[in-house]
Amino acid sequence: MRGPEYERRRQKSVVFVGLLLFALILFLIQLWLFVMVLENILAGKTGMVFQAAAASFVLLGVNFWMFAGVSRISKMR
């Protein structure tokens, strides 16, 4: 019979995989923003640079927040 420790580790791994997939989605959004801004700069349009940079910094902040959460989860016994 599996004990509560096994269930706790299993739940932590599910949360970790979920956060990893969400971080991958955020990374792809940042990559898309970067490519979009580069295409606009090469076309001579610089109006979206600051908005995309602000959105990218927000996504970076979310990634750091999730990393801190994963660190807290891994330190929990």
**pLDDT tens digit sequence for 5-34:** 777 777 778 888 888 899 899 999 999 999
Length of the chain: 77
- Please report which confidence band the pLDDT of residue 77 belongs to, taking 50, 70 and 90 as the band edges: low
Of residues 15 and 64, which shows the higher confidence score? 64
- Output the pLDDT for position 14: 84
Q: What is the DSSP letter of 44?
A: T
How many domains does the chain contain in total?
Answer: 1
Question: What is the domain extent for residue 39?
Answer: 4-75
Q: What's the burial of 26, exposed, middle or buried (CB within 10 Å: 0-12/13-18/19+)?
A: middle
Taking the model in full, what pTM does it have? 0.75
